[in-house]
Structure 1
Amino acid sequence: MAGTDDAVVTGDDALYVLTAILLTPAKFPSVLGDDYPEACAALGLAPLADGYGLVLGQDAEGARWTVVVDDVSLVAVAIASWDCGMEYELSPDEDSMVAALPGWPLALAVAAPGIPEPHDPEPGPDGADTAPLTPPDTATWGPAQRRLGADEIALQWAAWREQIDDEQFAATTDGATAEADGDGDGDTAESAGTGGHKGVQRVLAEVRGYVDTPPPLGRVRSAFASGDARTLRADGPGWSMVARTDDIAFVLLDDEPGEVLPVGRGPELPGLLEALDKMAVRPV
């Protein structure tokens, strides 16, 4: 998290930096969309190949602003420094600024001290200003919450994986699985008899289609995992999948609120994950 003493000058105003986010094909806030172009569209941005950095903060009046810059490396260094507990003054050059958008695309639990509480900027006198960005609704199950759930599984893979007993998998020809233990509240890994689960079958078919016909950029991403393994993330209309190249996969569906469906390796999943990893975008 940035120090709130950092300030970015935008025109005549200073922005007190609260945090920053990468918006690139390999790393973007998945809550904004299933792929990189969709996430960019949520902010009204063109999907540049190199991506953007998003700097979130407040002006002197406390208004929320998101400054978009094309100096991705600078923002990446700042984020890495903050993650390591180091101070870093994020001050993008004015020439790198692409846009200053009112509002925040994500919810923040922090605020700059000594100025009014965060609020959306007042509209201009002609009322033609851009509508403020607002975080996606995650109060009820839907695409945004489904993607956030997949994010959590990727971050806490070991905790989710230990809930699955491999002996419970009844492997089928497509690698889908039998039911896993769960209490039905969505807090544990569950499966609704996925050996014949139509939703899982549909997801696996669509993922296979990605191998033959590449989907929009960022819809399949590969990240580091332990050892030589990779963590794979794939999304599509109404579904998300998280997998480890050396292990199983988990599927989440818009149509099944709170359900997490494990998919055993079976005879086909290893080859499918290997093919996905070869075509996936990776962090630079």
Structure 2
Amino acid sequence: MTIDCSLTIVGSINADITATTSRLPAAGETIGGGRLSRSPGGKGANQAAAAARLGARTRMIGAVGADAEGQAMLQALRTAGVDVSDIAEVDAETGTALIIVDAAGENQIAVCEGANALVGLDGVEFAKNEAVLTQLEISMDLITELADRVPGFLAVNAAPAQPLPAEVVDRADLLIVNETEYSLLPQLQEAKLVAVTYGARGSALVARGTQIAFAEAAPAIPVSTVGAGDAFCAALTIGLRSGLGPEAALQAANAVGSAAVEDISAQPEFDRFETYLPGRERPGRLESDEPE
């Protein structure tokens, strides 16, 4: 199978500041002994980097500030193979995410939206054969505008969970959520197609409230779950748009997500999408990806 997918990501771009600790702190608790790292992130940028590395023709629509962090985030996307010509430089600080990751790969995240609040579609055109993937780290007004303007396939990663306008639910060709988000958004029972992720248990596709496919998760040794959902979103969109059936698309997306949790970065390297297809031997983790 050869991937032939044009994908535009509309979403957030963040500089991630991550503390890796033995466990997550309780409310009001201080934990010492952490390791600090800085890396590119943001749900939109993570999805764009994953899509490009998996082999899709990928562009991103977003915004960064006129600061060093913004330039670093743009360079990271260019390095991944993303077209950044529609990313605006605005009069605001680049978005920032403060992340704590524990020894099991679980996390807590606080996001400061910064430039992401100013993402717009002025001068942007969408082609009929172009898939668009977005998330909820940008304004809901912009999501609603996408529902009206995108002529082709529209996928919405409804995270962080918040109620969606009815026109977005009705228009979206694919909505992607985790099991907690799915339980918080009962309106998704009426959606055309919803992908629900269950962590280490796998993922499912649900059409208007009825499960039509399920795939078990690929085995993984978790290091960080920060970018795994974003990688899954990119891979599932690519798989469905490339003609895979529901179960095969889920299996491939699960394999990509499992590869992502074995890397500390929110924007890890990936092999091309074809290597994650069912029946293929899963690529092994590089020695450089091993946790210290």
TM-score, normalisation: structure 2: 0.29
The structure where strand makes up a greater share of residues is: 2
Larger Cα-atom Rg: 1
